[in-house]
Structures are given as C-alpha cells and as structure tokens.
Amino acid sequence: MIVKEEFLNKLRRYFSLNLYEVKIWAALLSRGVATAGELSDIANVPRSRSYDVLESLEKKGFVIMKLGKPIKYLAVAPNEVLERVKKNLKEDSDEKLRRLEELKKTDVLGELNLLHTQGIELVEPSDLSGSLRGRHNLYSHLESTLKNATKSVTLMTTSQGFLRKVEGLKSVFEKLKKRGVNIRIAAPLTKEAKDSLREVSTLAEVRHTDAKGRFCIVDGKDVVFMILDDKEVHPTYDVGIWVNSPFYAQAMEELFDHAWGKMRPVK
C-alpha cells in the first residue's frame, strides 16, 4: 500500500490518531475486510502492535471486528467515522466542562486561589510580565485582562485588528459597558470596518487614526502590546508582551491621550 506521508499526517491531525493507527486504518480502508496479520504487512506495522492498534480503532468506532476465525476486521465508512468522532468529541468536551463546573463548588478552587494569592505577595513587581506567542494566546490573555477592568480600557490597533477585536471581544465589551468601564479604540478605519463599527459604536468610543500601533492599556496598570506588524506575520508567529506596571501604563496612557484629541471621531 502506497499512501503519501502528507495524507497520513492530515489524518492524524483531523482524527487525533497516532501513526500506527492511521496506517492500519488506511490499509483496512483499501481492503474493506482483512486480518490483523494482513494489515500488519500492508501497513508496515509490527505484527505485535497491530492487535493493540485495531483494538484501539475499534473502541474509537473506526473498525468493526467480525465474528469467526480467523478474526477479521471490517472498515467503517469514512462518513460514519466522521460523525462518530464528532459525537465522541462533543461528549468528551461536555464531560470535561461538567467536571470543571463542579470544581467551582469544591474546596480545590479555593485552595488554588489561596496558593495564587500567597504567591503573588512574594512576586517582585518586575516579575509581573511575560511573553505571549501566537495570536490565539495573545487574544486569550487580552480577553482575561479585559475581563478584570474596572475603570478604563484603551485600545490601539490596525484596520484588520479592529475587525478581529470586534468579532472576538464584543461580548467582553458589552459586559464592561454594563459595569461602567470607559472603552476607547483607535484604528485606521476602512470601508471594511463599517459593519464592525456599527456593532461596537454603542459600547466604545472609536476614532480614526493613521498612526500605527497595537496595544491595550487596562485600568492604567496593565499593558499588552504586540511587537510585529500583523500584515507581515502569520498568526502562529505573532508575538506580544504583557506588563503589569502602573508607571509604564500611565506613561503610555498620557501619550495616547495627547494623540486622542487629534484623532477624528467616528460614528
């Protein structure tokens, strides 16, 4: 059986299988029905491992073991496998979410918070900083920082960054607005931003600027800033810095205030 390695790697990513599992599964799909020994030879998988691999695939719903001797395995149709995998992922996700919700009612979370509070008291102010790699991690940290805002949020971003933030953080902005948090956003606004601007206009004051910058200041103490141009970097390789420093945050806020007055209000 000749199957391109690239194809096998795609199967591994999509279905969360290991290398032996995708090889055996692909081999069985090509035969329809086969014994463990036959699949071992076709897929070039050690015979001693083929039985364990087929047992694993059976539990995951990829194959069916036929009755009789010698034992043979039947491939499940890929469309059916896809539905089974989706169902299993949902059930697994729901179960994990249920356990995490139950955690809130236990003493474990209280003990974790106590450990964190005691640890923070021992941390030097200069240690409250970190590097964030990948846009997904950047936005996750940005969201958690925004959720703790009590007074103000100052955002400066790019034209595409504005679209992303309205799409990804609108629900957070709504909660902040209800708490009376003042939100200001500055970005180079293009025609593309028309719909996004309409969505966020009641939640934040937005102004147009031709200046370039990607940063967020929260309550005059936390700063998250991105060091690369989002037009030139792949989201996976985007990099940001988080700093908890009232001195630095307030200095940036003052510079932003000076520029804010010169920006064009947008409605």
Beta-strand relationship, 33-35 and 264-266: unpaired
% of the chain with per-residue pLDDT over 90: 46
The pTM of this model reads: 0.58
Can you tell me the distance from the alpha carbon of 105 to that of 145, in angstroms, rounded to the nearest whole number?
Answer: 24
**Main-chain dihedrals φ then ψ at residue 18, nearest 5 degrees:** -90, 175
User: How many Å apart are CA 260 and CA 185, to the nearest integer?
Assistant: 10
pLDDT at 128 over 80: no
Low-confidence winner among 92-101, 111-120, 178-187, 249-258 (lowest mean pLDDT): 111-120
> Quick check: 245 and 225 in contact, CB under 8 A?
no
The whole-number average pLDDT for the span 216-222 is 94
Residue 123 pLDDT more than 60?
A: no
pLDDT band at 1 (very low <50, low <70, confident <90, very high): low
Least confident of 22-36, 58-72, 136-150: 58-72
CA distance 135 to 9: 24
- Distance between first and last Cα of the chain: 63
AA letter at 44: N
Longest dimension (CA), the chain: 83
Q: Which domains does the chain show, CATH number per domain?
A: 5-76 (1.10.10.10), 125-266 (3.30.870.10)
Tens of pLDDT along 134-179?
A: 998 889 889 989 998 999 999 999 999 999 999 999 999 999 999 9
Q: Is the pLDDT of residue 262 over 80?
A: yes
Helix (H) or strand (E) holding 254: helix 246-260
Cα(140)–Cα(134) distance, integer angstroms: 10
Q: Report, as an integer, the average pLDDT of 45-55.
A: 91
**What was the pLDDT predicted at 267?**
65
